[in-house]
Amino acid sequence: MGEFEDELKLKMHELAKGVYAVTRSFPKDEIYGLTSQLRRAGISVALNYIEGYARFKKKIKLQFYETSYGSLKETKYLIFFCHSEHLVDNEDYQDLMRKSDDIGKMLWRLMQPLRDNGDHDV
Alpha helices in the chain (DSSP H): 3-23, 34-53, 58-84, 90-115
pLDDT per position as a tens digit, 31-54: 999 999 999 999 999 999 999 999
pLDDT per position as a tens digit, 63-117: 999 999 999 999 999 999 999 999 999 999 999 999 999 999 999 999 999 987 6
Statement: residue 121 has pLDDT above 60: no
Per the CB < 8 A criterion, the answer to whether 58 and 117 are in contact is yes
Sorted by where each begins, the domain ranges of the chain are: 3-115
Full-model pTM: 0.91
Measured CA to CA in angstroms, residue 76 lies from 14, 103, 121 at distances of 14, 11, 32
Predicted confidence at residue 22, as pLDDT, reads 98
Per the CB < 8 A criterion, the answer to whether 75 and 38 are in contact is yes
3-115, CATH topology level = de novo design (two linked rop proteins) (1.20.1440)
